[in-house]
A and B are shown apart, each in its own frame.
Chain A
Amino acid sequence: GAGVSQSPRYKVAKRGQDVALRCDPISGHVSLFWYQQALGQGPEFLTYFQNEAQLDKSGLPSDRFFAERPEGSVSTLKIQRTQQEDSAVYLCASSSTGYEQYFGPGTRLTVT
């Protein structure tokens, strides 16, 4: 079956621009996660949804980061007024159990 998909795969933004990253989870998965992976590092947790409820946003680095999942399926991660330090790969994962997470290919964001 179809896995987790993310779009766009690559995004170049000028500093100060707003960006929106999309995640389509595996059908039927109630849990959805966002992670940020800086170059040469392991992924770091950003936020977690169960259905449409955002249950944990402790990893969001600043109030410029916002995530939503209004209908409990597709999720969007929005970054306002992008900064160079936001350059990273943003990974989305979904899960039916919460513990076993399946990742998408990621969106590589480059802020110039």
Chain B
Amino acid sequence: AQSVTQLDSQVPVFEEAPVELRCNYSSSVSVYLFWYVQYPNQGLQLLLKYLSGSTLVKGINGFEAEFNKSQTSFHLRKPSVHISDTAEYFCAVSGAGSYQLTFGKGTKLSVIP
């Protein structure tokens, strides 16, 4: 069974500072990896995805993530955060042949003015 660990439940960061949200997964098979963002009282919005190819993936709103197979990680980064990035971020994984997503527990990013 797959599992996803988001190591930080809350991350406060000052506006215009860089941020990294950590995600590790557990799977013995090929995986597809995703980051979603959830604003209050809204559904999940896809930020970026890794399906194959380049391990550095760029997404919307200036976010990027790097797939590291040896460390089973898919950390999310942004070089300079804005107030509007305040939200909860979820890392998710699905395996080859299975479409269901397994999510981490989420990381709440708070951007401080």
Contacts and interface: CB of A to CB of B under 8 A. Distances in A.
Interface of A: 4, 6, 31, 33, 35, 40-45, 48, 56, 59, 91, 93, 95, 98-106
Contact of A106 (B4, B32, B43, B104): B43
Interface of B: 4, 32, 36, 41-46, 49, 51, 90, 92, 94, 99-106
Given A43-B90, A99-B94, A4 B43 contact: yes
A105 B42 contact: yes
16 contacts: A4-B43, A31-B99, A33-B100, A42-B4, A42-B90, A43-B44, A44-B103, A48-B100, A56-B99, A56-B100, A99-B49, A99-B94, A99-B99, A101-B46, A102-B46, A104-B43
Given A99-B51, A100-B49, A45 B43 contact: no
Contacts of B101: 33, 35, 43, 45, 101
A40 B44 CA distance: 14
| Chain B at the A interface: SS class | strand
A79 B57 CA distance: 39
A42 B104 contact: yes
B65 to A, nearest CB: 15
Contacts of A6: 43
Contacts of A59: 100
Most buried by B among A33, A42, A100: A42
Nearest to A101: B101
Contacts of B105: 40-42
A44 B101 CA distance: 8
A100 B105 CA distance: 20
